[in-house]
């Protein structure tokens, strides 16, 4: 089930929202847990057992850590093997089988064709953070298994994040209030996220998918640029829109989920980009991989190695393909580059930093989208040597229509430039907009347009469901 589906909007969400206002406070967590399990089981009923196994396994490990304190490190290792093993079996088995077969130049092992459970990368990381933070002494062991189950399976952020740490939400699980102000703000945030997803991301998705469905030899330089730019915007509005909807849903049920995006495309360095993009994932890898490896405390060489390890793992976390691994390594290499005098130069010359960062991120997204190093190199070659590729099977206007152009204009304006201008010249205008008549009109208009678009078009992909 996806947030931008008609069933979720007209059936699931209204029923859960109404019931949450009718039942006593003591039953709220049980309601949300049942709703979350139904939400997950709706698309893949058989994998609900995997979800329950993840909940039970991590709950039990912490209970054992609490009871047998001298064996805490042993149980921590058990938890890591359990979670990484589960993720590895379902996500990476066929990848490694393929590598073995490629090396042997023969099908030594038959592919298992294991279907990837939706959201496994996200709920596995949440479960691991629960164990890690308990091991560090961040909180006492949670004795109520229902609280742990709700934390891991909470449907607003179950499928694609934000990745929530238990320490940030544990008090809200047992003590929270559902106020009318929070509900209104949640609905507002959800509608804006829905508009970003349906009206902008989906519009670009149909164009990008249409272009990349072709062999690159048929694409001109200009068409390659169109695909790269639109995908860069698509993935931002797709994922940040989903995060907005998740945060909005959380507020409707009394939860404050941390922000996941902060206008990453205004960044003037790759380091800044990763402080603004998928903030919850970056925070997870910083806390549980980078810092345990030594962070920046063991000299420059070790710091560089730690950064490369973190970004290689980040890339591989996104998908079982070499292209994702190279994407992570590419971003890691750029982080190292920025530790040289180049980093000081772009810090001083902001326009240069923005151009460099935008191009670098765009190139990385090509690799991310095509999932093929060879295909990506062909696209990049056409982009940066367009004079060699002026003829192709298709013209740009066979893919791009008036709706795409309109969406593009809004996408550029709303990706950071407008917010920067308002912050500089009218710093209080955004606060005044919230709850105003104009805000209400915008929300109603976005909701109506989104519903009409969803009713007229069944094309509703979501990028991060694959991870």
Residues ≥6 apart with Cβ < 8 Å to 138: 167
Q: Per the structure block, which two tokens stand in for 99?
A: 């590598």
| Residue 12 · residue 43 · CB < 8 Å | no
Q: How far apart are the first and last CA of the chain?
A: 15
Q: Per the structure block, which two tokens stand in for 127?
A: 């479960």
Residues ≥6 apart with Cβ < 8 Å to 385: 221
Is 318 known to be catalytic? yes
Query: 């790759």: which residue's tokens?
Result: 270
218, 278, 318, 331: the active-site residue: 318
Q: How far apart are CA 464 and CA 235, in angstroms?
A: 9
156 three-class SS: helix
| Residue 3 · residue 245 · CB < 8 Å | yes
> Torsion over CA of 372, 375, 377 and 379, rounded to 10 degrees?
-130
Q: Per the structure block, which two tokens stand in for 111?
A: 């592919």
Q: What is the 3-state secondary structure (H, E, C) of 39-53?
A: HHHHHCHHHHHHHHH
Catalytic residues, by residue number, are 318
């Amino acid at each position: 089930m996806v947030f931008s589906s008609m069933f979720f909007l007209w059936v699931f969400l209204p029923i859960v929202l109404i019931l949450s206002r009718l039942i006593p406070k003591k039953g709220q967590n049980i309601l949300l847990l049942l709703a979350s399990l139904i939400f997950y089981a709706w698309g893949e009923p058989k994998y609900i057992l995997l979800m329950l196994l993840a909940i039970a396994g991590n709950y039990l490990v912490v209970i054992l850590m609490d009871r047998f304190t001298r064996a805490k490190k042993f149980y921590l290792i058990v938890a890591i093997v359990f979670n990484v093993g589960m993720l590895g079996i379902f996500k990476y088995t066929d990848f490694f089988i393929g590598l073995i077969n490629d090396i042997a130049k023969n099908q030594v092992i038959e592919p298992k064709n294991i279907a990837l459970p939706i959201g496994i990368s996200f709920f596995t990381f949440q479960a691991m953070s629960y164990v890690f933070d308990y091991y560090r002494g961040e909180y006492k062991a949670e004795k109520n298994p229902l609280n742990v189950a709700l934390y891991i399976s909470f449907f607003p952020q179950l499928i694609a994040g934000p990745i929530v740490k238990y320490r940030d939400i544990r008090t809200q699980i047992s003590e929270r209030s559902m106020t009318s102000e929070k509900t209104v703000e949640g609905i507002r945030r959800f509608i804006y996220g829905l508009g970003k997803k349906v009206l902008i991301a989906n519009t670009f998705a149909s164009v990008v998918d249409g272009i990349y469905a072709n062999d690159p030899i048929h694409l001109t330089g200009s068409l390659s640029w169109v695909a790269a730019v639109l995908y860069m915007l698509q993935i931002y509005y797709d994922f940040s829109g989903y995060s907005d909807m998740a945060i909005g849903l959380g507020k409707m049920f009394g939860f404050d989920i941390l922000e996941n995006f902060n206008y990453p495309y205004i960044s003037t360095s790759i380091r800044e980009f990763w402080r603004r993009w998928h903030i919850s994932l970056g925070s997870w890898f910083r806390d549980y991989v980078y810092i345990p490896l030594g962070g920046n405390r063991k000299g420059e060489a070790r710091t560089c190695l730690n950064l490369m390890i973190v970004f290689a793992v980040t890339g591989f976390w996104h998908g079982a393909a070499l292209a994702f691994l190279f994407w992570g390594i590419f971003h890691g290499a750029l982080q190292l580059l920025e530790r040289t005098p180049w980093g000081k130069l772009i810090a001083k010359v902001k326009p240069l930093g923005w151009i460099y960062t935008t191009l670098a991120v765009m190139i990385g997204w090509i690799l991310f989208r095509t999932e093929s190093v060879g295909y990506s190199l062909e696209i990049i070659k056409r982009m940066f040597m367009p004079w060699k590729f002026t003829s192709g099977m298709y013209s740009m206007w066979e893919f791009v229509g008036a709706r795409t152009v309109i969406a593009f204009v809004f996408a550029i304006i709303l990706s950071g430039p407008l917010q920067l201008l308002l912050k500089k010249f009218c710093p209080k205008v955004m606060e005044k907009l919230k709850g105003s008549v104009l805000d209400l009109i915008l929300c109603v208009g976005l909701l109506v347009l989104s519903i009409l678009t969803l009713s007229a078009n069944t094309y509703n992909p979501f990028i991060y469901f694959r991870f």
